[in-house]
Amino acid sequence: MQLLTTDADLVALLTPAEKDAYIGPQSTMLDQVDIVSETISMDFDSPASGHLTITATYKSGADHFIIKFFSQLQSPVNSDQGQCRRLTLVGDAHTGIIIALLPQSENIHPSDTHNPVTTTTNIPELSWADIQQCLETTGNETVWQLQNQGFKAFSRLDVIIPEVIYLPFKGRGDLHLKGAHKSGGDIYVFKIATAFYNNSACGLTPSQGLMIAFDAKTGDPIVVLKDEGNLTDLRTAIAGRNAAQQLMPEAEVTGIGVLGTGVQARLQVSLLKDLYPQCRQLTVWGHTPTNTATYAREMTQNGWQVTVVASPKQVAKTANLIVTTTASEVALLAADDITQENTLVIAIGADMPGKLELAPSLLKKADCVLIDSIAQGKDHGNAADALHNGVIVESDLQEFGDFLNNGLKNPQAAKKLKLFLSSGIGVQDLQIVQAVLAGS
């Protein structure tokens, strides 16, 4: 990734049309109907007070897109001094990859007549290999506990999570930008995740992404984690693993089942293998026979006794710990499919509006429905459909963080039908970055 040092460097990367669209006068931008632009903001109160604004802009047909971060934080040491930080990211609109960044800073004091703008000369970058080494140094137990701490803080309302920025690239893919800050925490984190489906043709993976950690006292970017989306996959898998640890004791597991054969199906089962060393029965259902056969061979090589079945319902007949990891838009499991009273379903795949893995009837039947975020669940994934159709009400849900803080709302559900619904929230990204930094 190229580190730019001046505005001239930024201009040199852009075509004349992009220059007008991205760094020209605001009035010029607004006059261009082929521009998609989204702006979000968040306020800070501790450890420094202030404001952050982020704008992402894409001109249809352009070769590049731009994301601008602008923070104004009051110095926690000198209350008379303000700290302005700008970070401009340039992305390749054909692949979704961030190719350059321009960090700039300005300290403002009322007595100063001139406040020079300076550029950060170096921002450390960590590759996926670097990140894995850091996490190994931190240690699994700490990584897992940091995730639980994040859920707890989120449900205590100690986490600031702004709106999500979404940029569509017609015919190419899309971009999501989301972030989080824990009140009083030393850092805040933003993640950029893209999915460009034609990347394979040029030797790149469709999913690309990075995370940036910022100093919460100054707004300075302190490290770029070029994880290519792997940290999102990992923190998602850890959420399922932690839910299983809390909700299904090893002695009560009769068999493990998985719907889907992709990345999450592999990661989730890998973490469950260490959590349940006495259980090696794995029942698998997948959409595509070829992919399912490949997955079954891999899991067999990893020490599982694998049974491939023809329907999700057959998974539920043999397993009472079931993980759903598909991108389905129709329900795969309904109330009548669950016949074992003591069953835990960890639903991971329905992470966006329109996705659905569990029928509303299953949510209605459940003795306990835990969810990462009730607010997000109103329009994301499995809970949204059940809520919109009046099958359940909001009070039927309990946030996972509230459960970790206070126990089950319905203690009698401990050995009955339990669901954990995950669509992913920003505090998980914040905490996985904390884990990386702890080992750096």
SS3 readout for 166-195: EEEECCCEEEEEEEEEECCCCEEEEEEEEE
Domains of the chain, first to last:
2-232+429-438 (3.30.1780.10), 240-424 (3.40.50.720)
Least Cα distance to 56 among 32, 27, 88 occurs for 88
What is residue 115's predicted lDDT score, i.e. its pLDDT?
Answer: 65
Q: Which two tokens stand for residue 398?
A: 């309990």
Token pair 């597991």 in the structure block, residue: 253
DSSP state of 321: E
For residues 105 and 83, give the distance between their C-alpha atoms in angstroms, rounded to a whole number: 7
Specify the 3-state DSSP secondary structure of 289. helix
* pTM, to two decimals: 0.91
How confident is the prediction along the chain (440 residues), in pLDDT tens digits per residue? 899 999 999 999 999 889 888 886 654 555 566 888 999 999 999 999 999 999 999 999 999 999 999 999 997 776 667 889 999 999 999 999 999 999 999 877 656 656 666 766 689 999 999 999 999 999 999 999 999 999 999 999 999 999 989 999 988 889 999 999 999 999 999 999 998 988 888 888 888 889 999 999 999 999 999 998 899 999 999 999 999 999 999 999 999 999 999 999 999 999 999 999 999 999 999 999 999 999 999 999 999 999 999 999 999 999 999 999 999 999 999 999 999 999 999 999 988 889 999 999 999 999 999 999 999 999 988 999 999 999 999 999 999 999 999 999 999 999 999 999 999 999 999 999 999 999 98
Kindly give, in sequence order, each residue whose CB lies less than 8 Å from that of residue 333, ignoring residues fewer than 6 positions away: 259, 312, 313, 316, 322, 324, 345, 357, 358, 359, 362
Q: Which two tokens stand for residue 185?
A: 């925490």
Packing angle, helices 263-275 and 289-301, rounded to 10 = 30
Kindly give, in sequence order, each residue whose CB lies less than 8 Å from that of residue 153, ignoring residues fewer than 6 positions away: 159, 182, 401, 427
Phi-psi region of 84 (alpha: psi -120 to 50; beta: other; left: phi over 0): beta
